[in-house]
Amino acid sequence: MSKNIKRIAVFTSGGDAPGMNAALRAVVRTASFHDMHVYGIMRGYEGMIDGDLKRLERGDVGNIIHRGGTILKTARSQRFMTPEGRRSAYESLLAFDIDACIAIGGNGTFTGAKVFTEEYDIPFIGIPGTIDNDLFGTDFTIGFDTSVNTAIEAADKIRDTADSHNRLFFVEVMGRNSGFIALNTAIGSGAGSVLIPETDTSIEQLVNALKKGARRKKLFSLVIVAEGNKNGNATEIARKVKEAFDFYDTKVTIIGHLQRGGSPTGLDRVLASRLGFSSVEGLIGGEQNVMTGLVNGKIKYTPFDQAIAEAKELDNDLVRMAEILAM
Ligand code: F6P
């Protein structure tokens, strides 16, 4: 058991992700069940620095489980990267008598938490909330499933028009430096090819695959492009492909921030509820400076330095399967 934790603060930080509200709801309700007081910090680390905290009761998190975005707002804080910023944040937490913090966010959020907890004696627990699914220590991050569903829905619509006009579409999806969103979107939308940061597919290989398709009388095609792939953005890739093979009329769609919004899927709501619940129960059980995650269906706590430093590998079997199914 840890020291008696009676007052906790919770915040969302970094890029928002569908399901953050569901996680927040679970944190507040679990903490209330254990007679803890919960404070919500507005705008992530920015609000922590500014002392922008407000009491959250059970009723304050009603009617939010289905809402995208985050009712606490979020930010990417430059000030928290400075020792002065972190000192102000610590003073704010002291002023509100906060015993522990729960951070809902991604890599940058947990990097901040790791530095802060090395400097100050306030324990943190992290909840993985990012559409990118790029955190080691959890099979899925909150928001990933919703984001993939949004991208697949968009790709389905693009497929209709691509088919009608015999066009080649390059559809760019987010994911920062990882290809989880792109690979899963490609599989789920039946795309012809996918370009992800984890593989070295060159423009030449892509053109060869498109030529092969054209020889089989494939009159349209979808290529899913991860924003972090090595060949450039979708517009640059489309131009290079067009130069090498102008058989198709070529178009580009960048799905962009559409993937970050919207009502969370059932999977994301359940995941967020489980991780919110386990963050509070973990704290009570003595977990500190770790991220709660779901590994093979079970809750697992992973130290921050491991969660942010270790690369989460894409499943090579999935990559191979995507290639075979697209042929
Ligand atoms: O980390 C989530 C994410 O949506 C990435 O996929 C993307 O690269 C980035 O955030 C975009 O950030 P911003 O909304 O700050 O432009």
Q: Rounded distance, CA 201 to CA 264, Å?
A: 32
This model's pTM is above 0.95: yes
Name the phi and psi angles at 286, rounded to 5.
105, 5
Over 59-103, what HEC string results? HHHCCCCCCCCCCCCCCCCCHHHCHHHHHHHHHHHHHCCCCEEEE
- Domains of the chain in start order, with CATH, are 7-143+264-309 (3.40.50.450), 147-260 (3.40.50.460)
What does the pLDDT read at residue 7? 98
What does the pLDDT read at residue 1? 43
Beta bridge partners of 322: none
Active site residue 132: yes
Strands 298-303 and 290-295: antiparallel
Q: Which residues of the chain have pLDDT under 50?
A: 1
What does the pLDDT read at residue 2? 53
Residue with tokens 């779901």: 294
Identified catalytic residue from 99, 132, 145, 268: 132
Instruction: Check pocket membership of 176 for ligand 1, CB cut-off 6 A.
Output: yes
Closest by CA to 23, choosing from 13, 33, 15, 12, is 12
| Helices then strands, each counted (H, E), the chain | 11, 11
Q: Rounded distance, CA 125 to CA 38, Å?
A: 14
Measured by CA distance, the residue closest to atom 1 of ligand 1 is 15
Interval between CA 151 and ligand 1 midpoint (Å): 15
